Structure 1
């Protein structure tokens, strides 16, 4: 489970981002963070921590908050996917999606002056580094996991990505 300092860092990252809601689950324990707007007072954070023993009581109080906050977020996600969604619905069969293992900032190159790790059409191997996801000031290299050709890059350099968000589509060999 995340330590208190890691949770504090996540709260800071979420406050500085456009993310409205963040969920993290590991070994049956869950953490949910939601931004709430309180009139003219500004934005605040709600942190809900669920553990297996207390999983039943906590979702009930969180349900009204989820009904308010995620509605715009859920509408925004399909729109973002719809740009490539039309293409993906017919072309996704047989493609491997490389996903982000964490919340962070996506970088396509090791530094601003360096060339990108991979571009559309490049061949990759399972151990090929395809990007970096920066989380809590740590640079995490993301590997391709499969041998194949990069069909599509789904995110832009410097974009904030969520846990499980698809970054690349690869056609396996």
Structure 2
């Protein structure tokens, strides 16, 4: 059974760097499962920054919607999923049933053999969003994080680039 880690925190809290370190500690070659989609120049720049930071030991796989299939296809080395929040937004914007896809993925985690480190944003620590879609997204992200955290072997909160072990 794979070792499952959830690293969560606020925007620019150092989650991805911590996750990259953890995955590389688990093996000399690693899979980076990217859920982001470059719909604008700002996101294109963010993706480029992440790519430039990673070295030749990383194999990048784009999985904006098909996360479970990608996890299964990359079960020959440690994986980093960056990030669950973007995966969730992709599913919601595509009007797909995020709950059933998330439950199916979580149910499959015990069948995986190599470690998986999930990155996710902690969204419920700010103000209540002013519109129904934003509130639904915030609530869904909180639910998804709770589901992953319940089954994870470790949960780490990233605060200013420092890991705080929660579980």
TM-score by length of 2: 0.24
Give the helix-richer structure, 1 or 2.
Answer: 2
Give the strand-richer structure, 1 or 2.
Answer: 1
Considering Cα pairs closer than 8 Å and 6+ residues apart, tell me whether 1 or 2 has the greater RCO: 2
Q: Which has the larger radius of gyration?
A: 1
